[in-house]
């Protein structure tokens, strides 16, 4: 205890030794949130703002984090958690830890190897990498890293070209299609407006034609199909043999509809707050979706995952696994493939620790009685 006079009770150790032990060991990141400041210090301001920013007043961006903080655990005691197994099964395969990489645009802003660096870090750990339609590495090059990869589709206006992307993903060995349905038009990202963000020279989309893009800020949404309907989902599920994950679900009725139309899984997501500001936090939307889905299909969740305890919360509320977004880009900007690997290892260790201290031997043992809500 540090008193008014600054005296420290050290329990016998010297004051000097105590201060040494209590000192942080440099600036190395020890949790996912640490990577943000490190990335922002390295990146040109407009690029960091593109990664970290969200729509309008960024209410949902903040709430995605705050919503985890409105819950508390009721851990179990008396359980032997030695030898616990954090692996989960999703879409017919077992993954070593219940998290995967969320699809995100433009990894090459963070690192010259971009998506390939992240995919390699995934391959080394048996984790799923998701490649965005607006990624900067090709569908084929990502597959060649040996990572298990899922291809995220934004529907293009030209249905023939959407069909080509689906066929390429299948031929290259991607294992699933993520159809993102919450971004038929883009949210207003005001940090990007203020910084005048646009695609820098030397960075280009690897899977869509840049020439066709008219809009000069980020995605060039003139090329994208501005309406994403249930008919489009039905078309995708009929066009690919791969399982389809519908991303961007926040409503129970939409989750059921997606499964009725052939989706193999749903991802509860508000796109990291980048689409409709003041949308519900994903973790707050999850229980109703889980009730409606009632075990018919696996549920994924993203938006706001920063801690192993966040992963545990999502599991307890009905997710099979989560997807990690911004921390992947931040760690890539900070340390390339090794930086991303460190972020994965930190999160995997946190998940394993949280499971054990909560008194669980497997993710499947996480259930709602593990949590209570608190206000304020
Ligand atoms: C810079 C950036 C680019 C993104 N690009 C895409 C994308 O191309 N396709 C997509 O489905 N989601 C995209 N997302 C959303 C992520 O998949 C995910 O939903 C979100 O990042 C989760 O929030 P979090 O990063 O705060 O955890 C993007 C997110 C960020 C931060």
Q: What spacing in Å lies between the alpha carbon of 325 and ligand 1's midpoint?
A: 6
Q: What φ, ψ does residue 202 adopt, rounded to 5°?
A: 90, -15
Tens-place pLDDT, residues 277-311: 999 999 999 999 999 999 999 999 999 999 999 99
Tens-place pLDDT, residues 28-38: 999 999 999 99
Q: What spacing in Å lies between the alpha carbon of 94 and ligand 1's midpoint?
A: 24
Q: What confidence score (pLDDT) does residue 17 get? A: 62
Tens-place pLDDT, residues 227-247: 889 999 999 999 999 999 999
Residues with CB under 6 Å of ligand 1 are 50-51, 64, 102-105, 132, 134, 152, 180, 247, 269, 271-272, 274, 302-305, 325-326, 329
Q: Are 62 and 90 in contact (CB under 8 A)?
A: no
Tens-place pLDDT, residues 48-90: 999 999 999 999 999 999 999 999 999 999 999 999 999 999 9
CA 218 remoteness from chain centre:
20
Q: What confidence score (pLDDT) does residue 226 get? A: 81
Task: Return the residue whose CA atom lies nearest to atom 6 of ligand 1.
Answer: 104
Q: What spacing in Å lies between the alpha carbon of 52 and ligand 1's midpoint?
A: 10
Tell me how far CA of residue 84 lies from CA of 308, 321, 368, in angstroms: 15, 17, 20
Which one of 271, 280, 323 would you pick to mutate in the ligand 1 pocket, going by the greatest count of ligand atoms within 8 A of its CB? 271
Residue whose C-alpha is closest to residue 305's, from 324, 321, 328:
324
Q: What confidence score (pLDDT) does residue 228 get? A: 87
Overall fold of domain 34-373 = TIM Barrel (3.20.20)
Tell me the average pLDDT across 366-376: 92
Task: Name the residue ranges covered by the structural domains of the chain.
Answer: 34-373
Q: What spacing in Å lies between the alpha carbon of 249 and ligand 1's midpoint?
A: 14
* Joined tokens for residue 135: 């990624």
Residue 362 in this model has a pLDDT that exceeds 60:
yes
Catalytic sites, residue numbers:
271
Residue 219 in this model has a pLDDT that exceeds 70:
no
Q: What confidence score (pLDDT) does residue 25 get? A: 56
Band the pLDDT of 20: cuts 50, 70, 90: low
Q: What spacing in Å lies between the alpha carbon of 271 and ligand 1's midpoint?
A: 5
Tell me the average pLDDT across 2-16: 46
Which one of 104, 180, 181 would you pick to mutate in the ligand 1 pocket, going by the greatest count of ligand atoms within 8 A of its CB? 104
Q: What confidence score (pLDDT) does residue 342 get? A: 98
Task: Return the residue whose CA atom lies nearest to atom 19 of ligand 1.
Answer: 271
Task: Return the residue whose CA atom lies nearest to atom 14 of ligand 1.
Answer: 104
Residue 220 in this model has a pLDDT that exceeds 70:
no
Alpha carbons 48 and 50: distance in angstroms, whole number: 5
Tens-place pLDDT, residues 316-330: 999 999 999 999 999
């Amino acid at each position: 205890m540090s008193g008014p006079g600054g005296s420290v009770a050290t329990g016998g150790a010297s004051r000097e030794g105590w201060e040494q032990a209590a000192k942080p060991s440099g600036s190395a990141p020890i949790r996912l949130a640490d990577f943000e400041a490190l990335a922002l210090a390295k990146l040109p301001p407009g690029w960091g703002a593109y990664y970290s920013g969200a729509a309008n007043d960024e209410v949902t961006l903040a709430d995605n984090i705050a919503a985890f903080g409105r819950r508390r655990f009721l851990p179990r005691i008396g359980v032997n958690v030695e030898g616990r197994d954090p692996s989960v099964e999703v879409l017919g395969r077992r993954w070593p830890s219940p998290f995967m990489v969320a699809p995100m645009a433009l990894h090459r802003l963070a690192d010259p190897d971009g998506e390939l660096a992240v995919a390699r870090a995934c391959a080394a750990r048996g984790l799923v990498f998701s490649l965005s339609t607006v990624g900067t590495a090709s569908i084929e090059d990502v597959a060649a890293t040996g990572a298990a990869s899922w291809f995220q589709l934004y529907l293009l206006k030209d249905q023939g070209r959407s069909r080509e992307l689906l066929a390429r993903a299948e031929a290259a060995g991607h294992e699933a299609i993520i159809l993102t349905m919450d971004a038929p038009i883009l949210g207003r990202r005001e940090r990007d407006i203020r910084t005048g963000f646009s695609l820098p020279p030397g960075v280009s989309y690897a899977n869509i034609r840049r020439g066709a893009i008219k809009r000069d800020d980020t995605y060039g949404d003139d090329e994208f199909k501005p309406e994403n309907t249930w008919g489009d989902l039905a078309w995708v599920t009929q066009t690919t043999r791969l399982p389809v994950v519908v991303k961007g679900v926040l409503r129970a009725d939409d989750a059921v509809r997606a499964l009725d139309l052939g989706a193999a899984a749903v991802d509860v997501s508000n796109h990291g707050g980048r689409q409709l500001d003041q949308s519900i936090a994903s973790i707050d939307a999850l229980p109703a979706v889980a009730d409606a889905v009632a075990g018919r299909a696996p549920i994924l969740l993203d938006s706001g995952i920063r801690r192993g305890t966040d992963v545990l919360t999502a599991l307890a509320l009905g997710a099979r696994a989560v997807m990690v977004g911004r921390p992947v880009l931040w760690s890539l900007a900070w340390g390339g493939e090794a930086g991303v690997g460190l972020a994965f290892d930190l999160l995997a260790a946190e998940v394993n620790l949280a499971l054990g201290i909560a008194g669980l031997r497997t993710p499947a043992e996480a259930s709602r009685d593990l949590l209570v809500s608190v206000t304020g």
